[in-house]
Structure 1
């Protein structure tokens, strides 16, 4: 009988402790900064191309879109044997 009483007392204690917890923090509204951060995290998981990602990121952050280009100074062709100054190829 003592075991049954001890188990039922523990069960009642666990139920009452669960009912006494505070409401979930997800029920409060998100701030503007949290909303922007969630949108940026979702954007990074979408697997977009670099140009699409930069365009949508600039739209989310409100910053002007940066243009990226290549300067063609660091290109090398693996089929050509080109020796650079002071460096072995």
Structure 2
């Protein structure tokens, strides 16, 4: 019985010693670029509307928000009707 107890104690102490000396990964702070990249990745997963996404992305990147919309050539006045081939467009 004493031999069994000694072996068990030896095994338990070896296991505990192995767990205590296990090297943990070095914890280093994120760089500013890594933090910005993580924030942009989290923003892209949030499922925001396009306008909300662009606003928050501009705030994160520090860039002025671009105005998105139709240019003058792509706008169509509803009061004017253009006839092409007999059809109104």
**TM-score band, normalised by shorter chain:** 0.5 to 0.7
**How far apart, CA to CA, are the structure 2 residues paired with 1:3 and 1:64?**
73
What residue is the counterpart of 1:17 in the other structure? 18
Structure number having the greater strand percentage: 2
What residue is the counterpart of 2:50 in the other structure? 50
Equivalenced residues, count = 71
What residue is the counterpart of 2:29 in the other structure? 29
Q: Deviations over 1:40-84 (max 9, x none)?
A: 222223222111111111221223333333547xxxxxxxxxxxx
RMSD: 2.7
Question: If the length of structure 2 is used for normalisation, what is the TM-score?
Answer: 0.55
List gaps (5 residues or longer) in structure 1: 73-89
List gaps (5 residues or longer) in structure 2: 76-89
Question: If the length of structure 1 is used for normalisation, what is the TM-score?
Answer: 0.55
Which has the larger Rg?
2
User: Are residues 1:61 and 2:57 paired?
Assistant: no
